[in-house]
Structure formats: structure tokens, C-alpha cells
Structure 1
Amino acid sequence: MKWNIRPIELELKFDWKISRNTSTKKTNYVIEVEEGDFKAKGEVAPNIRYGEDGEKILQEFTQFLKEKPQKFDSIEELTKFLKSLDISYSLKFGIEAAFVDYISQISDLTKYRLLGTNSVTQIKTSFSIPIMETEKLADFINEYKLERFDELKIKIDKSSVEAVQVILGNYPGKLRLDANEAFENADEVLAFLAQIDCERISFLEQPLKADNHDEALSLKEKSPVMIFADESLTHHEVSQYYAERFHGVNIKLMKAGSYFQALKQMRRAKELGLKTMIGCMVESSLGISQTFPICQGADYLDLDGCLLIKNDPFNLVTEEKGRLFFSHLH
């Protein structure tokens, strides 16, 4: 069994500006596992917010190659081994995804069967708008024909009140706001929300820094819209801590590091009465397609990562009227 890693350079359709940085391209990595006539793949989408970058991913993959056994006999064996490694969670998922793909190929069993989840052939996603000059927003919505999406996700910072108002005036659906930790305290968030039509806001994602525990408690109690955790929830267990501070959680495979951990997070969130969203990083259609097996039962899906890039090397997913399909089925 041969393992390999290679970079893929993803060019973005537009400047991807969020509250903490701006990108025009993204370097992800493809994990390949090969044996005989079988060749399987998984995607790694490192995120600097979690201390991940390309150099670290490559170093950690070398560590994986040195420490792994000669062969893994089951998905469970691989997953147990990955838990013992101190490597980036996006890399853990890329390795696991490639191996699940491999086992699916050699066993002729679907990934849904292997993971014990319900089959999904299409999903409804939101589409994300980055932070940009307010005067460009109406043209952006028209250029990309965004009315075909039931909901839009808007990247915001403290100064985005006018931008949200412009989008509400040029788009008929509901908005999901994503602050990426832009606000300092609950009062700042509440003052922002007081200036917009909250009836058309589905939720506000991660307005406060992940370590701002006390302010998150206060905000949940007073907020006129649901507050979702993103950066606050990585690979950890979903506990009462989250139920006390948030109305919902954004679960991502690249943060959870494993299909099984992400599914466990979703089950526990539901037990605690939290809403659930399956999200993504900027990923090719390889990474997005490998998210389909955990989508059933989520309250919201935000899987537009491959729609933001203009040179998808895999073309595994097709979008039509705001829905994603496997390209070979469409």
C-alpha cells in the first residue's frame, strides 16, 4: 500500500476577504493511497487560524509515513492510529477520507454503508459573499445570479451594517452572517444587530473570539438572532459549554479530523438541543463530495467551497439552482 501527498493550487473567482485576512488563491493537498489497480484520494484544506500551513502539513505527513504500520486492515484501525498522532486535524481527515475511499473501492461498498449514514445524492447549500466595497455588492449578486440560492452567507466585520442592508435590498431570501470573531464583546454585537432587519437573518456565526467565554454567555441571553459556534468548536466534544453559549454549531470535517468525530459531534449537539450546520473550508469538489456522507439530518448546509474556485481539478460536484449533485449522476 503506497501513500502520497501532492499540492493543488486553487484560484479563487474573487478576492476572499473575511474579518481577519484576504486570499486570492488557496493551496490544498491531496492524499493518495494506492494498491494494485486501486487508487483513492482525500483532500486536506489547512487553515492558518488553527496553526496549519503547507510546510507543517508536509512535515506531518512525513511523520505519518514514518510511524504508521505497514498496512491498515480496517478503517477502525486507521482511525485509532490517527488519534494517537499529534498532527493537524485537516491532515487527519484527508488521510482518513482517502482510506475510506480506498476501502469503498476494494469492497464495492458505498461510503454511506461504511460509515453507517443515510445516502444523499443532492444537498441544498448557501453561497458566501466575502467582505467587499458596498457599492459593488448589487452587481456581485447579479453577476453571480445569487437569487438561485435560498440563503446567502455574508462575511462581516464591525463596519458591515450598510453592506448587510444593501444585500437585503438586492436579494429576496434570508441571510446567514459570519463574523469570524470580529467583535470584542456582546454589546458591540447587539449594537450591530439593532441596525439591521433581524427577521431576515437566520443566524450569526462566531461574532466573538473563541476564548471570550463570559461575553458569549451574555450574548446568547440577549441576542435577537441565533448565535452559532464555528471557531469555538474544532475537534472537541460538544458539551454543555456550547449549549450555554450558542444556539447551534458549525461542524466541519477539516476541524473534526474524522468522519466519526464529526458524526459524534452532530449527535451530541442534537441531544443538547443545538442546531447543526455542516460547513467547509475553501475546498475542491473532492473535499466537498467527501462531505456528503455526513449531511443527512443537519439543519443547515454551507458547502459552497468548490463554488468559490475557478480551476477545480476534479469536477466531482455540479451546482444547479442552489443544489449540489454528484456530477456523474447529474
Structure 2
Amino acid sequence: MKLTLRDIHLPLRHPFTIALGTTTLQHNLLVELEHEGATGYGEGASSHAWHLYTAESMRASLEAARPVIEAGGFSTPEELWNRVYPVLGENPFALCALDQAAHDLWGKQKGAPVWKLWGLSLENLPLSDYTIGIDTIEKMVMKMKEFDGWPIYKIKLGTEDDLAIVRELRKHTGAIFRIDANTAWSADQTLAFAPEMKALGVEFFEQPLPRDDWEGMRKVKGSCVLPVFADESCQTEEDVAKCAGIFDGINIKLTKAGGLVPARRMIAEARKLGLKVMVGCMTESSVGISAIAQLLPLLDHVDMDGAVLISKDIADGVRLDHGRAVFPETNGNGVTLLDA
């Protein structure tokens, strides 16, 4: 098996701001796994909020693991994941990129999409939201109108004008709103905002409080009129059980979890514990988004608009048509590089 690593730079349509920082150019890592004439693709999405996991650190981790990765093929992606975890487990972003490539390669070798190999169906899939990053109110309205007609918008908040932003955006659409404060609120703020935001058509809050403020979240869970989903508080498999009884649901990020293999285990555990399940994306190309799409039949909600937020993609794959996932007639994760 041959491992190839390539840096990719993804320009954004607009500067993308959340409570944790601003991005204008996304620097990710493309992972290619070639074996017996087939090639699978995965993507490691760097994050300004996760300084340990840059494209450079992912490359270094994967290069260190190259002898283990290239030691032989695999019969299932789980087999490769288990083989490399001892040397890649401390860099889940790199592990995720490799795992995505393994699933894409596996499906192409088997001659079927990954979702079909898992025994899933594409009926009644959840719709994706489109994310509006923090900006002036006027620019946030403009960003929403640029993608008019989407059924759901995720609104990034964490400003002094959070209620004013939602009030103004509501004037311009009848779509569902989801609010992501990215840890910027307190428990009291969350409880104070919730009644009016519910009246303004907000479906749920995502990670309003700091990730370790479990006491604050218990207070919110006891009184909040809106459901609350964990994001920063639920990063790994071990975090799922901690969220039960404190959050209404979890938002799984493949990069933080370490790929599709652990994400499926997290989904199963969440179901056992009565938690709703969402999968979210980073700012990434259609390579990473297509991997997320394989999980759609297992989800209640999804945020997979990363490739819509960039102005130039590097691949064809699963795409969004006003929130609806459109799957290509391609095996694996459905990825075809545009320059291949």
C-alpha cells in the first residue's frame, strides 16, 4: 500500500468568524491511499482553535506512521484503524484523514459506496444547514441571502448583539435556525436567550457554554426551553457517556473523534443513552464532506456545508442542493479529484 500526502489550500467565500477566531484561507492535508490499482482519498482539516492539529503536524504524524501504514493492505477500514491507532492515536486529525482514505479505498475495491457496504439506505436523510459566520448584522443578512432558500441556517453567535442578529435574520427568511455560540455564553445568558430565540424559530443551541462547565450545563438542562447539543464537550468516544443527562444530543466531528470508525461507535453509544446525534464538519473540501455523508442514514441532524463555504473545491463528491445531499454514481465515499 502506498501513502501520498499533499497540502491543499482552500480559499473561503467570505472571512469565516466564530467566537474562537477568523479564517480566510483553509490549509488542509489530502491523504491518498493506493493499493492494487485503486486510490482512496481522505482529508485532514486544520483548525485555528486546535493549534496542535495543523496540516504540518498531521503530515509529521502520518510520516512517522508510514512504515505501519504501508506494511500491508487491509480487509476492512477497522483493521487498518486498529493497526495504526497505537502510533496515530495522539493526533486524531491525522488518524481521521487516513481513516477517510481507507473507507474510500475499501469501497472502491469492493465496488460499492460505503453507506451501502454498511447496509444503510439513502431514504429520509436529514438536511444540512448552511452556516452564517459572525460579522456585522448587515453582512450576515447578505451572507444568508447569497444562499437564499436553504431550509436551515446555522448562525454563529458570541457577540454583544446576539439577539439583534437573530431578530434581523428572521425578517428575511422563514427557515429553521440553529444557534452555535462556540462556548461563548454563560448558563444565565443561555437561559435568558432561549425563550425569545425559540419564538424566533430556533431549533436548538449548540455548545453555548465552555466545554468543561458541566455544572452550568446541568443548570441549563434543568430549565432551558430549547434542546442543547454538545460539540466541544463531546470530542472522543469517552465523552459520549459524560453528555448523557446533561445535553440533549451530541455533535460529532470526525476530525476530533479520529475518523468514521470511532464516529460509528459514538453514534451507537449515543443511541443507547437516549441522545440525539448530529455530525458536523470543519472547513473542508468535498473529500471530507463526502466521508461525512456516508453517515447520513444514522443521523438526526447534520452540518456538512464545509465545501459550500469555500470558493474553489478540489474534488467532486457528495454535494448539497439547498441542504439536500446528492450522491454521485461513484464507489467508496464518492470522491473524484478534479485534477486527477
The match for 1:162 is 164
2:59–2:94 contact (8 Å) kept in structure 1: no
The match for 1:179 is 181
AA aligned opposite 2:19: S
The match for 1:266 is 267
**Unmatched tracts of structure 2, length 5 or more:** 331-340
The match for 1:6 is 6
- Write the distance in 2 (CA, Å) between the matches of 1:262 and 1:242: 15
Q: 1:93 aligns with which of 83, 91, 96?
A: 96
- Write the distance in 2 (CA, Å) between the matches of 1:324 and 1:69: 33
State the TM-score, normalized to the length of structure 1: 0.91
Q: CA shift at 1:152, angstroms? A: 0.7
AA aligned opposite 2:256: K
Percent identity of equivalent pairs: 29
Q: CA shift at 1:254, angstroms? A: 1.5
Specify whether residues 240 and 70 from structure 1 end up closer, same or farther in structure 2 by C-alpha distance, changes over 3 A only.
closer
Provide Cα deviations, 1:116-166, integer angstroms capped at 9, x if missing partner: 240438762111100110123333322332xx2211100000421111111
Aligned partner of residue 166 in structure 1, secondary structure: helix
Provide Cα deviations, 1:263-312, integer angstroms capped at 9, x if missing partner: 11112112211111121111111111111221113111111111101100
Task: Please give the residue correspondences for 1:143-154 in structure 2 after superposition, counting only pairs within 5 Å.
Answer: 143-145=146-148, 148-154=149-155
1:102 aligns with 2:115: no
- Write the distance in 1 (CA, Å) between the matches of 2:121 and 2:30: 24
- Write the distance in 1 (CA, Å) between the matches of 2:97 and 2:253: 12
Task: Please give the residue correspondences for 1:52-63 in structure 2 after superposition, counting only pairs within 5 Å.
Answer: 52-63=53-64
1:211 aligns with 2:212: yes
AA aligned opposite 1:32: E
Specify whether residues 319 and 107 from structure 1 end up closer, same or farther in structure 2 by C-alpha distance, changes over 3 A only.
closer
- Write the distance in 2 (CA, Å) between the matches of 1:124 and 1:191: 29
**More displaced, 76-85 or 301-310?**
76-85
- Write the distance in 2 (CA, Å) between the matches of 1:31 and 1:119: 27
Provide Cα deviations, 1:43-82, integer angstroms capped at 9, x if missing partner: 1112243331122112111111144461133233211123
* Structural RMSD (CA): 2.0
AA aligned opposite 1:31: V
Provide Cα deviations, 1:219-248, integer angstroms capped at 9, x if missing partner: 111111111000111122354421221011
- Write the distance in 1 (CA, Å) between the matches of 2:257 and 2:65: 18
Q: 1:81 aligns with which of 80, 83, 87?
A: 83
State the TM-score, normalized to the length of structure 2: 0.89
1:7–1:28 contact (8 Å) kept in structure 2: yes
AA aligned opposite 1:98: A
